[in-house]
Amino acid sequence: MFAVTILGNNSATPAYGRFPTSQVVTINEHQILIDCGEGTQMQLSKYKIRKRKINHILISHLHGDHYFGLVGLLTSMGLLGRETDLHLYAPAALEKIIQLQFESSNISMPYTIHFHPLTEEGIIADENKFSIKCFKVKHTIECWGFIIKEKKVPKKLDKEKAVEYNIPAAYYNSLKEGNDYVTKEGTIIKNELVTTPNTPEKTYAFCADTIYFEEMIDKIKNTTLLYHEATYLKDLENKATQYCHSTTVQAATIAKKSNAKKLLIGHFSSRYEVLDDFLTEAKEIFDNTELAIESVTYIV
């Protein structure tokens, strides 16, 4: 399972019941929270996503609609007795903002928060089952995108075949890595006999808040699922440029030029009550587009 669940899809101020940006990425048993607008902890409860399973939080930038729910979530994690370490990746200035609020409340957390300030593009987390990379986007303040990539062993084991060849289970991981098996008698069981090639590794790219800029294309090439903001419909391209945001057409153009498999658009302006036109406009450029809708889980 590699998927993203939308907790909030609105920009700036909440409107029409739409919450500000927050998404949960699930990779098997791991959960990664991307951005944490006000109300995220309520949204997690509403959609029965367990806060306990989130060990990585990524904050793209320090506009309130992307992080005003963070200190509340961190505090609640503590009040609920969390003991597991938490890794937080964000612009450097966030550390002091959090510290100051913890100090003022005089509550100490029963778990450790490892704060990782984002400083340069590249791998920021390298776990067994996934890696996280950050890259710069262009907004009115320092702003980061993220690419989450699942890690797979090169081969899938054909267990029936492995049993047939009397290969002990202790060697299964070695087979998945592509190695042959040598029996006690010295017979070589070729790897190809008991494995098949694994499916390609998938990626989810989150492009945060950004103006349209083509240098991004190289950074996110061939993404399986690409999230790109589309704050405005195409007729408001001037406004998008003015506020360093993007339109439907611009988001779809990035998806097309970067050869994404699928595009997810969100961060809708509060000026729009109905979102249908966002989908229509984006699909004209890039057909495999979906709207990021609260509560919906999109498979990567």
Can you tell me the distance from the alpha carbon of 189 to that of 150, in angstroms, rounded to the nearest whole number?
Answer: 29
Q: Residue 50 Cβ, how far from its own copies at the closest point, in Å?
A: 14
Q: Residue 89 Cβ, how far from its own copies at the closest point, in Å?
A: 16
Q: Residue 269 Cβ, how far from its own copies at the closest point, in Å?
A: 11
Span 22-81, contacts to its own copies by CB under 8 A: 38-39, 41-42, 45-46, 62-64, 68-69, 71-72, 75-76, 79-80
| Binding of residue 83 to its own copies (CB under 8 A) | no
Q: Which is nearer to its own copies, 141 or 182 (CB)?
A: 141
| Binding of residue 136 to its own copies (CB under 8 A) | no
Q: Residue 77 Cβ, how far from its own copies at the closest point, in Å?
A: 9
The torsion angle over the Cα atoms of residues 234, 238, 243 and 247, rounded to 10 degrees, is 10
Q: Which is nearer to its own copies, 115 or 165 (CB)?
A: 115
Q: Which of 3, 55, 97, 109 touches its own copies (CB under 8 A)? A: 97
Q: Residue 14 Cβ, how far from its own copies at the closest point, in Å?
A: 5
Please say if 65 is a catalytic residue.
yes
Q: In 24-34, which positions are buried (b, 16+ CB within 10 angstroms) versus exposed (e)? A: bbbbeebbbbb
Residue type, 46: K
In eight-state DSSP terms, residue 119 is -
Can you tell me the distance from the alpha carbon of 270 to that of 207, in angstroms, rounded to the nearest whole number?
Answer: 20
Q: Given the rule CB under 8 A, which of 15-23, 110-118, 229-237, 248-256 is the region that contacts its own copies? A: 15-23
Q: In 87-113, which positions are buried (b, 16+ CB within 10 angstroms) versus exposed (e)? A: bbbbbeebeeebeeebeeeeeeeeeeb
Query: What's the gap between Cα 274 and its chain centre?
Result: 26
Can you tell me the distance from the alpha carbon of 35 to that of 20, in angstroms, rounded to the nearest whole number?
Answer: 9
Span 269-298, contacts to its own copies by CB under 8 A: none
101: helix, coil or strand? helix
| Binding of residue 101 to its own copies (CB under 8 A) | yes
Separation in Å, CA 106 to CA 99, 102, 115, 150: 11, 6, 20, 39
The residue from 65, 158, 276, 277 that is catalytic is: 65
Q: Which of 94, 226, 233, 240 touches its own copies (CB under 8 A)? A: 94
Kindly state the greatest CA–CA separation across the chain. 74
Task: Output the CA angle 128-5-76, nearest 5 degrees.
Answer: 80
Q: Which residues contact 102 (CB under 8 A, 6 or more apart)?
A: 71, 75, 108, 109
Q: Residue 132 Cβ, how far from its own copies at the closest point, in Å?
A: 22
Q: Which is nearer to its own copies, 36 or 300 (CB)?
A: 36
Q: Which is nearer to its own copies, 78 or 145 (CB)?
A: 78
- Total residues contacting its own copies by CB under 8 A comes to 36
Can you tell me the distance from the alpha carbon of 243 to that of 148, in angstroms, rounded to the nearest whole number?
Answer: 27
| Binding of residue 91 to its own copies (CB under 8 A) | yes
| Binding of residue 105 to its own copies (CB under 8 A) | yes
Active site residues: 65
Which positions touch its own copies (CB under 8 A)?
Answer: 12-15, 17, 19, 38-39, 41-42, 45-46, 62-64, 68-69, 71-72, 75-76, 79-80, 91, 93-94, 96-97, 100-101, 104-107, 140-141
